[in-house]
Amino acid sequence: MPRRFRTADITVRVPFGSTDPVRIALLHAAGVPLNSSGDAAWGFLHERRPCKFGDDSIWRWFDTGSASPLPAMQQADGAPAPAQQAWR
């Protein structure tokens, strides 16, 4: 089966050393829907951390169209996938 990839709807480079208010302002200015705590209001927000000290981090936001999780996180019948159990 061929692999399918989805490109991010919004990509933001956040400079190294940015504080949380600066990061939130940059993401908000780029159009990422954020709630009052700075998390994505809907969709999926992913941070790619820098490989070495001093590099910028990359934030990617994927629009799911609603508050539901990404289709890969759902079962075949459309129900959300069950949470995985922690290893003991």
Query: In this structure, are strands 57-62 and 44-48 parallel, antiparallel, or unpaired?
Result: antiparallel
Question: Cβ atoms within 10 A of the Cβ of 59, count?
Answer: 21
Instruction: Find residue 62's DSSP bridge partners.
Output: 44
Whole-number pLDDT of residue 67:
55
Residue type, 27: L
Give tens-digit pLDDT for 49-79.
Answer: 988 888 999 999 998 876 554 444 444 455 5
- What average pLDDT does the structure give for the chain? 78
Mean pLDDT, to the nearest integer, of 30-38?
Answer: 89
Domain ranges across the chain: 10-65
pTM (global) more than 0.85: no
Residue type, 21: P
